[in-house]
Structure 1
């Protein structure tokens, strides 16, 4: 059986939530490697269009709510028509309707099903929609790459975001079961999990003392950057990862083991 090993500079890559925060760093990382990139956004139109201006021949901004299967199918059709090739790598990064705020997060007494449902809709339904929409094009090419963005809060719930972590845990499960289901098609499914990154929209309000504390407890003695996180996503999309699937790679400088 042939192994899918398309170089990144020959790929069409979808970054969901790719206009800002970690998503913008992922977008730039793939553009820097010569990929054609679909910058999906929900509400961040100006940020998405600004990114496209950085590489207008190789970037396309497309508005779509990842929770809407019809909108995602339309996104894939538009991307294929624009670039003349199907999407070969999907990076599931979008996190709609969620803000990291340790003070406002629901604690054990306030947590209700609506909080969990919001995450399951945004993280898990969103990923399922993009993956299902990608399958026909990936099979046509003889394979593809699916990269899900996770979190090290499974292993180290330093801030107990119950709903967010539950959604990402379910996404890890989906990563592993889909890797088995899609492996015969030459499609790999992996997860990249970070912790606090220095700095994204999500971590911009973090006090300097917190960054310092994390650095002191991390083997590399520094906080991981979004660019370093994006490097791991590039690896999973590259031919070098052709035999790697169903894995969760933690990219946090060694703070969390396994």
Structure 2
């Protein structure tokens, strides 16, 4: 059943969350399930975690392995979603992250990092998102609308740690967010980004020293570090009919650390 302006309410949507089995992805998956959506849990190396989600939500979640960097695997992912739920995907959340540990002390500095690190992050972040969006377009056309939510970072505005490769890839994803929003808007498709800072706590941020969490908390107006659940709330907004007139935007969700 359509909501405002033909946008499908969350409870009637099929949603794809890439990298949706653990860390922030798991929080995103669980947020959509809580709102009544059916969720395709894409995973690459977290089969057990993805299957556990599917088993807890029979008929409403399905675990599918696909490397988003590979277009053939992404096409097969969408085909599996259609077979499982009998409906096209209405929202895609590009969350998948090529292996990365959020530990500033362990990351290569500017005089050490090789371009292969940038290339790996661009492949996972940009190539992966482009593959997913392009594969979703047929289903979006069938529905007459579509929602794309890309997961970004506040590090473009506040580069306090030397995550050079990760930040560059996410900055490129913001550019893709805006150019795709302009190109796809006439088709009823919105493309937005939600950018967090350090999240307390995900698998990726588990290596972060406690002192860093405390420092960031003390620097925010809310005196706290954003949780994955709080971040997920903002993603729900962009997937919902309430955001039907919003596209090409980057919403920073970090407790006010960055005000952009």
TM-score of the pair, normalised by structure 2: 0.97
Q: Which runs of 5+ in 2 are unaligned?
A: none
Deviation at 1:97, TM superposition (A): 2.7
Q: TM-score, normalised by structure 1?
A: 0.97
Gaps of 5+ in 1: none
SS of the aligned residue for 1:103 comes to: helix
Map residues 2-81 of structure 1 onto 2, 5 A cutoff.
3-81=5-83
Matches within 5 A, 1:1-258: 3-258=5-260
Matched-pair contact (CA < 8 Å) for 2:110–2:162: no
- The number of aligned residues is 257
Q: Distance in 1 between matches of 2:72 and 2:145?
A: 23
Shift of 1:112: 1.7
2:103–2:208: 8 Å Cα contact kept in structure 1?
Answer: no
**Shift of residue 202 of structure 1?**
1.5
Deviation at 1:139, TM superposition (A): 0.9
Deviations 1:121-148 (A, max 9, x none): 1100000000000001001100110000
Secondary structure of 1:65's match?
coil
Equivalent pair of 2:108/2:162 in contact (CA under 8 Å): no
Distance 1:66 1:3 in 2: 31
CA RMSD, Structure 1 to Structure 2 (Å) = 1.1
**What SS class does the counterpart of residue 7 from structure 2 fall into?**
coil
**What is the alpha-carbon distance in structure 2 between the residues aligned to residue 206 and residue 91 of structure 1?**
25
Query: How far did 1:212 drift?
Result: 1.6
Please state whether the residue corresponding to 1:196 is helix, strand or coil. Answer: coil
Where has structure 1 moved over 4 Å in runs of 4 or more?
none
